[in-house]
Amino acid sequence: MSLPLAPIALPPLPEEPGPASVWPASTRTLRSGGTAVGGVPLAELADRFGTPCYVIDEDEVRNRARAWRSALPDADVAYAGKAFLCRAMLRWLDEEGLHLDVCSAGELELAAHTGFPADRIVLHGNAKSPADLATALRLGVGRIVIDSTGEIARLAALVPPGSRQRVLVRVVPGIAAGAHTAVRTGVEGQKFGLPIAGGEAEDAVVRVLGQPRLELVGLHCHLGSQIASVDPYVTAVRRLVGLLSRLRDVHGVTFPELDLGGGFAIPYRDGDQALDPRAYALRVTSELALRCAHADLPVPRLTVEPGRWIAGPAGVALYRVLAVKATGDRLFVAVDGGMSDNPRPALYGVRYTVRLVGRASSVPERTMTVVGRHCEAGDVLAEDVALPGDIRPGDVLGVPASGAYHVSMASAYNLVGRPPVAAVSEGRARLLIRRETLEDLRVRDVGE
């Protein structure tokens, strides 16, 4: 029998990190007053590829991937592909030894086409389509995360006779964490996972154990997004080990894996807090080892899923100013992009940093609101930011921390094509994703 999960005294741990830079580490101010990333002037990139445009610093991506690998050398680090995915990104991640977390047959097919090892892929999703599941089984993905009891029999029926598919059960530990209610997925009453508190998680485990074509290898949870403190993850470990202890005591099973998801915060403005992989690794692995020892359980292999933390700070969005207008006591700067290439301010009220990146200015700064070109009053990219008072049409603005959930969430609203993505490294730039053209949009319109 396991002992009650009483509080355990942890060894002294380092303080949580302070504010981090919102720009890639390679960012430099040029003699001209402009800004360069990866050794390439951003104004030059705006001229070469047009605007709006996304710039991804390849070395920043690789270094941030290595930060997680270094902090957790005995764990699996699975990049959350929903943040940003393309063939080059997949190649970088593969070369850095990461795993991959996907949510659709489309992301799976892209990974397969790029040659990413299928056994290092995890498929998520609260409502996986038959095509999603069939593609995952055809490609031989390493893990499928079961999100509902109804999915168990459907998945088992698709597994070929004589085969077994490794699965995880996504559980809800009842922890409220995340920067906005729309991204808090560790609490009951939202669409993801199976609650521990109501017994649904345990019931799902029992059902999976009854399916001979499914091999249950562990539990999965995801608390939310933009979580800057390690504390919610430590609490999750306690509750998940409690469930593992009960499953062992009642059903006689133990599992070799535990996936704690991602949601690690990055800074979007100066002064924002960011989660440090080293602090996370020390506290979470210590807590996991102690709790498992307390419950007389083997320590499962840990998986974490950083997406935004790896891609976000590596990206800079470039826009060109189209108009400057004073309305009442407010000064608006309108640019050639907006909610079609970054819907996050409209969805979550996210606030960004904006910098004039193409030239120097000695004019004092004024408070301005940077808005997009779309026919929506809510098309605001950055509210109340400080920019030089001589901002004028034609100027190039840079928005850092734009590498995650921008391109992947972009739309063709107002039939404005999605922006291109260019990679920079060691003074060179190359196109990764071309601009979506009007012809691209027209060829999809096949009716009369």
Question: Can you name the residues that pair with 331 across neighbouring β-strands?
Answer: 326
CB 261 within 8 A of CB 220: yes
Catalytic status, residue 86: no
Of the candidates 315, 406, 391, 407, the residue with the CA atom closest to the CA atom of residue 358:
391
User: What are the tokens at 286?
Assistant: 């210590």
Q: Which residues contact 17 (CB under 8 A, 6 or more apart)?
A: 273, 274, 275, 276, 279
Catalytic pick among 53, 103, 221, 375 = 375
Q: Residue 367: enclosing H or E segment and its boundaries?
A: strand 365-371
Q: Nearest 5°: phi and psi at 273?
A: -85, 150
Asked if 275 contacts 317 with a C-beta cutoff of 8 angstroms, the reply is: no
- Other Cβ atoms closer than 10 A to 380: 19
Which residue, among 420, 335, 329, has the nearest Cα to 380 in the 3D structure? 335
Burial code (b: 16+ CB inside 10 Å, e: under 16) for 103-136 equals: bbbebbebbbebebebebbbbbbeebeeebbebb
Q: Show which residues are catalytic.
A: 375
